[in-house]
Amino acid sequence: MVNILNTVIFIQLGFKDVMNISFLAVSLSDLGYSLCNAAINVCLVVALSPWQQNLPVSMLSLGGWLICYQYIFVDTTTCAHAYLALARCCCVTMPFTFKNVFTARRTVFIIVDAFIINTVFRIPLVTSHGLSWQTSPLTNATRLTIWFSNDYPFFMYLEKIICRTVLPVIFLLVTFLCTIILTYALVVASRKRSSMIIAKNFSDTNVKKCKAKKYEKMTCSQNEKVKQADNLHSNVLSCKELVLIKAVTLITALKAITLLFVCVFALAEALVPEFFPGRKYNRLHATVTALISIVMSANQCGNFFVYCAFNKRYRYKLKHNFFQNA
**Whether pTM exceeds 0.75:** yes
Alpha helices in 213-278, H assignment, sequence order: 220-235, 239-271
Report residue 148: phi and psi, to 5°.
-130, 140
Residue type, 131: L
257 in helix, strand or coil?
helix
* 308 touches 318 (CB < 8 A): yes
Burial of 168 (0-12, 13-18, 19+ CB in 10 A): buried
Report the chain's mean pLDDT, rounded to a whole number.
79
In the chain, what are the domains? 2-181+253-322 (1.20.1070.10)
Cα–Cα distance between 285 and 304 in angstroms, integer?
A: 29
From first to last of its 326 residues, the chain has per-residue pLDDT tens of 788 888 989 998 888 888 889 889 999 999 999 999 899 889 888 888 888 888 888 888 888 898 889 889 989 988 888 888 888 888 877 877 887 888 889 999 999 999 999 999 999 999 999 889 888 777 777 888 889 999 988 998 888 888 888 888 888 888 888 878 877 777 776 677 666 655 555 555 555 555 545 444 444 444 444 444 444 444 445 566 667 677 777 877 788 788 888 888 888 887 887 887 767 887 888 888 888 888 888 888 888 888 888 888 888 888 887 776 55
Which distant-in-sequence residues (6+ apart) come within 8 Å of 231 by Cβ?
none
pLDDT digits (tens, 9 = 90+) for 42-84: 988 888 888 888 888 888 888 889 888 988 998 998 888 888 8
DSSP state of 57: B
* 156 touches 125 (CB < 8 A): yes
Which distant-in-sequence residues (6+ apart) come within 8 Å of 148 by Cβ?
128, 129
